Structure 1
Amino acid sequence: MHDSSYYVPAAAMAVALVIKGPSVLRGRRDPLLRSAYALMLLAGLVFFFAAPPTIGWVNRATGVSNFSVAIVYSLLSAFSASCLVLLINWRGGPNTRLVSRRWIAGYAVVIAATVVLFALGDAPVERRRDFDTYYANTPYMREMIVLYLTALAVANVSMTVVCWRWALKVSGWLRVGLLVMSVGFLSNIGFAAAKLIAVNARWNGGNVDYLSTYFAPTLSAAGELVCAIGFCVPMACQRIGDVWSTWSTYRRLGPLWRELRPAGDHGHRAVRIAWWAPAELQVTQRESDIHDGMLALYPYFDPEVRARAYDAAVAAGSGPDRARAEADATMVTAALRARADDPEGKVVSAPSSASAKAGGPRDLVGMSVALRRSPVVATARERIEAGAGTASRERIG
């Protein structure tokens, strides 16, 4: 990776932290939200402090050669713990807090040991890229390097196992996200393995430093990116799916809404929401218009029309739910015709008109679909229109 490449993901994490900050403050008691925010924060810090220019600046500012190494290794251990805690809180289940605290305590010990080993060791020559292999045979530094790589490998192996086991029990976008995260964690295992191979080669007099200096950082960057995508996939796709489902409901309600809207117009202009309003509000507005129209038609609803239509739908092979929707749609069609034939509103003013409200809750989407596609509703509509035409001719005659 180039020196400036480290700052790109660090900046991306900083932007995400600023955007998510208010929601985290509002939900600061939510362990899942807190752990997700901690993960983003630590990921950004890892990339920032691992950048060679930052390493040089930290070393100069502290006056201690390679002081930034202790910071980066400690941040990597903290990041590993945060990934584990996030997965544990995300999955939930019994003893979530206890397991999270154990992992945090374990990696806190690793971080403390890293600092102690760095203080005991001697690393006078600044190495911004190849510290692991350059000091592979230096007392205390050697143990510190092995400790942080082992801790990193253990965390990523554990996360891979958790993701695979969890993925076998779930489906949909959550499974996709878990499998993607598994690939990212495997990449991080490859990072630790490449580093350990290079260090081991140094112990045995060999030199494969390129694995540690060039190959491993690339694996790490790819792993972090893939893990981030895996975390985002279930949430983003679930949100997209919810929006798509809501707009689909809005569209499917269209035929019934257009059919009933004139009936619900009582001579005043209803308050309309803006076209850019959220999809949920658009659906609510459309349902409200439909209910207003049905309220105006209640006096004209004929239970016998509904019963005949239900029997016809069942005879045509419709299930109970679909047959009820087709019967309701047929009753609405007949009520609209009856209302049109009653311009003076005599039925509305009749004392017995309120009894027509029986029928219970109705499937508005099913009714709307039936208006457009049901042959039972189409046949009933033709019969009603034909009857209305005959009655009109008789009145004229």
Structure 2
Amino acid sequence: MSPPASPIPYAVPAVLLALALALKTPTFVRAWKDPDVRATTLLLLLAAAVFVSVSPAGIHGINTATGVPNIAAPWVYSLLTAFCGSCLAMVVTWRDEPSPRRDRTIRRIWIIYTGIVVALWITFLLADVPDERVHDLDTYYACEPWMRWHILLYLLAHMVSALVAAYLIWTWTSRVRDAWLKAGLVFLQAGYAFGLVFDIAKFTAVGARWTGADWDWLSTRLAPPFAILDATLVGIGFIVPQAGPFLEKWTRDRISFHRLRPLESALRAVGPSAAPARVGRFAPLDLKLLQRRQRIHDGLLRLAPLLDEDVWQRSYDVARAAGHDERTALGIAGAVTVRAALTAART
């Protein structure tokens, strides 16, 4: 537990994860029974908590608030271990189809990682760690009998989860066709690779202490940036497959909403909509788009007696003769026909 002194490397991902969690909260409230939604929300919550707690100020603040030197160690490592278990469970949730076998696998993951968290607290309570160490706890207490097991537990839990998750993703990626999911898996693999560098650096530094050598710089300087990259990329990897399709649909709906505005305005001339209820300015975009389409549909129904099939056919033929493709020609013919009908309605 030896992070850089600057809080910025921790604050930026913590804020981004908190923002993602805030955006996910309405979905969680609406669909909390969905295992994917629950798993994603828990993962984001744990990731944000890790970044908030692991900063130097956070570590010292936890120790000071409780009055127990180094109590931040089991707290931070418990959050990190729970985050690792959550990541592994999330990969299984995505990879496997819903089944009793998948449910049993996820339960086993949580049982194992819950047991590790309990063991972390037991080993800490049995350890003799009177001096607060904000930056170099892992190496400073590497030879303390119970603290040695405490450190090994969290590092092994982190490494095993990274290796297992990376293997599951590696054997699954070739079967993935969804572009957003594949992009998320790339971020996950990169994150787990950085995580393994973190683990190797930590293990090497701790092992050096056991042999009487001093390679603390591996733990205090080399490892922390890789830990930040690991958690950040893994968090992004789990966010992208869900945020990507949402943003894609939102962009598509926003474009459609603006493109349909002139047609809706033009059709108001033929009478009020059968659905006069107004939605608020802050209503969801999909609801506002649905209402706009409903108003256009109602307007076209009232305009139907004035729609001239001959006008449509001539417009279509002219558009095709001008070199437009089928879809564009249909759009031009429809627009010309509606405009002609609106002109007829005003006369």
TM-score interval, smaller chain: 0.7 to 0.9
Given the alignment of the two structures, is residue 112 of structure 1 paired with residue 100 of structure 2, yes or no?
A: no
For residues 281 and 173 of structure 1, the distance between their equivalents in structure 2, rounded to whole angstroms, comes to: 25
SS in 1 for 2:205: helix
SS in 2 for 1:113: helix
Counterparts in 2 of 1:331 and 1:43: CA distance versus 1, 3 Å: closer
Residue among 150, 175, 182 paired with 2:189 = 182
Residue among 92, 106, 110 paired with 1:100 = 106
User: Once the 2 structures are TM-superposed, how far is the Cα of residue 80 of structure 1 from its aligned partner?
Assistant: 0.7
2:5 alignment partner in structure 1 = 2
2:92 alignment partner in structure 1 = 88
Equivalences for 1:231-250 in 2 at 5 Å?
Answer: 231-250=238-257
2:209 alignment partner in structure 1 = 202
SS in 1 for 2:33: coil
Counterparts in 2 of 1:66 and 1:325: CA distance versus 1, 3 Å: closer
Tell me if structure 1 keeps the 8 A contact 2:47–2:235.
Answer: no
1:280 alignment partner in structure 2 = 286
2:165 alignment partner in structure 1 = 159
Given the alignment of the two structures, is residue 70 of structure 1 paired with residue 77 of structure 2, yes or no?
A: no
- Letter aligned with residue 236 of structure 2: I
1:388 alignment partner in structure 2 = none
For residues 19 and 294 of structure 1, the distance between their equivalents in structure 2, rounded to whole angstroms, comes to: 37
- Letter aligned with residue 82 of structure 1: S
Q: Which has the larger radius of gyration?
A: 1
Q: Say what the alpha-carbon RMSD is for the aligned residues.
A: 3.9
Tell me if structure 1 keeps the 8 A contact 2:14–2:51.
Answer: no
For residues 64 and 258 of structure 1, the distance between their equivalents in structure 2, rounded to whole angstroms, comes to: 68
- Identical positions, percent: 38
Equivalences for 1:1-397 in 2 at 5 Å?
Answer: 1-2=4-5, 4-5=7-8, 8=11, 12=15, 24-56=28-60, 58-59=62-63, 65-91=69-95, 93-94=97-98, 95-168=101-174, 169-253=176-260, 256-257=263-264, 260-262=267-269, 264-265=270-271, 278-303=284-309, 306=312, 328-329=334-335, 331-332=337-338, 335-336=341-342, 339=345, 343=347
For residues 27 and 288 of structure 1, the distance between their equivalents in structure 2, rounded to whole angstroms, comes to: 27
TM-score w.r.t. the length of structure 1 is 0.68
User: Once the 2 structures are TM-superposed, how far is the Cα of residue 195 of structure 1 from its aligned partner?
Assistant: 0.2
Tell me if structure 2 keeps the 8 A contact 1:9–1:44.
Answer: no
For residues 73 and 154 of structure 1, the distance between their equivalents in structure 2, rounded to whole angstroms, comes to: 15
- Letter aligned with residue 115 of structure 1: W
TM-score w.r.t. the length of structure 2 is 0.77
Counterparts in 2 of 1:271 and 1:180: CA distance versus 1, 3 Å: same
Moved more, 295-304 or 152-161: 295-304
User: Once the 2 structures are TM-superposed, how far is the Cα of residue 238 of structure 1 from its aligned partner?
Assistant: 2.7
Q: Which runs of 5+ in 1 are unaligned?
A: 344-397
For residues 275 and 55 of structure 1, the distance between their equivalents in structure 2, rounded to whole angstroms, comes to: 44
User: Once the 2 structures are TM-superposed, how far is the Cα of residue 156 of structure 1 from its aligned partner?
Assistant: 1.6
Counterparts in 2 of 1:166 and 1:249: CA distance versus 1, 3 Å: farther
